Amino acid sequence: MNEDVTFYITRHGETLFNLLEKSQGWCDTPLTQKGINVAELLAKGLRHIKFSAAYSSDSGRAIETAKIILSVNDFQPIKLQQDKRLREWSFGSLEAITNKDFTQILAQGLGSGVGMRELNRQLASIPQIIVNADTTGWAEDFQQITNRIRSVLTDIAHDVLSKGGGNVLIVTHAFLIKTIVYCFAQERMYEIEKINNGSITNIIFHDGLFKITSVNDTHYFEQEDLTSCPSK
């Protein structure tokens, strides 16, 4: 009997562009000290979980976060595998602009005021707005993004199942995680305002189906943060 595959999908730690409030898709900046600290706390929160496989996007911020998480795991070391299908959305010429300017472009495209929850509700419409504004031809439409998500998760799930199942660590990016939730549990989009750095979204792959069991769970690193604080 085949075992299930449980995905632990996390967003990388805070980066320089996160701190500067700039858009960051396929472009990359390093983790800040806060980002490193959160990754280290998450690593401690996950250290007792045995991972059968570990993947990240090929972006430096995701690789660095994944290596920190794996460095303190209690079980036999496993090789981190990189897959470009786990990259953030490509924003084309909208890369590295301020979040304010980025949001204004989306608001103009949607024809309404845009808060985070409204962006989530209309997630499937956003890539086309980016494509329309992009001057490089690098931005992706929603079908391209969802195709690579379904492809990479299915490939990983079947590979891990062929070896007996188990837990899989994936370090990826905010919009990509939102899209995963949209693909497999659209009714849960209301739970998300933002995907926090270091939060965990769990998916179980069972009998050929993906089921999301938690979204944007921060207790793994918040619990460690509390236990590491000195008593007052």
Q: Is 102 inside a domain boundary?
A: no
Q: Is 111 inside a domain boundary?
A: no
The answer to whether residues 27 and 40 touch, using CB atoms and an 8 Å cutoff, is no
Q: Is 181 inside a domain boundary?
A: yes
For residue 185, which of 103, 123, 119, 106 has the smallest C-alpha distance? 123
The confidence score (pLDDT) of residue 229 equals: 42
pTM of the predicted model over 0.85: yes
Number of residues that make up the chain:
232
Burial 203-220 (b: 16+ CB within 10 A, else e): bebbeeebebeebbbbeb
Q: Is 127 inside a domain boundary?
A: no
Q: If you count DSSP H runs as helices and E runs as strands, how many of each does the chain have, helices first?
A: 9, 6
CATH, residue 158: 3.40.50.1240
> Domain total for the chain?
1
Instruction: For residue 202, give its domain range.
Output: 5-88+142-228
Burial of 162 (0-12, 13-18, 19+ CB in 10 A): exposed
Q: Is 123 inside a domain boundary?
A: no
The answer to whether residues 201 and 42 touch, using CB atoms and an 8 Å cutoff, is no
Residue with tokens 């075992």, as numbered in its chain: 3
123-129 contacts, C-beta under 8 A, 24 or more apart: 123/178, 123/179, 123/182, 123/189, 124/182, 127/89, 129/105
Q: What is the DSSP string of 34-50?
A: HHHHHHHHHHHHHTTSP
Q: Is 57 inside a domain boundary?
A: yes
Phi and psi at residue 31, to the nearest 5°:
-65, 140
The confidence score (pLDDT) of residue 62 equals: 98
Walk along the chain (232 residues) in steps of 10 and give the mean pLDDT of each run.
Answer: 86 98 98 98 97 98 98 95 98 97 92 76 95 98 98 98 97 98 93 93 97 96 60 32
Distance CA 31, CA 80 (A): 18
Burial 143-152 (b: 16+ CB within 10 A, else e): eebbebbeeb
In the structure encoding, which two tokens stand for residue 185, read together?
Answer: 């549990």
Q: Is 70 inside a domain boundary?
A: yes
The confidence score (pLDDT) of residue 79 equals: 96
How many CB atoms are closer than 10 A to CB 122? Answer: 16
Q: Is 99 inside a domain boundary?
A: no
For residue 200, which of 41, 16, 15 has the smallest C-alpha distance? 41
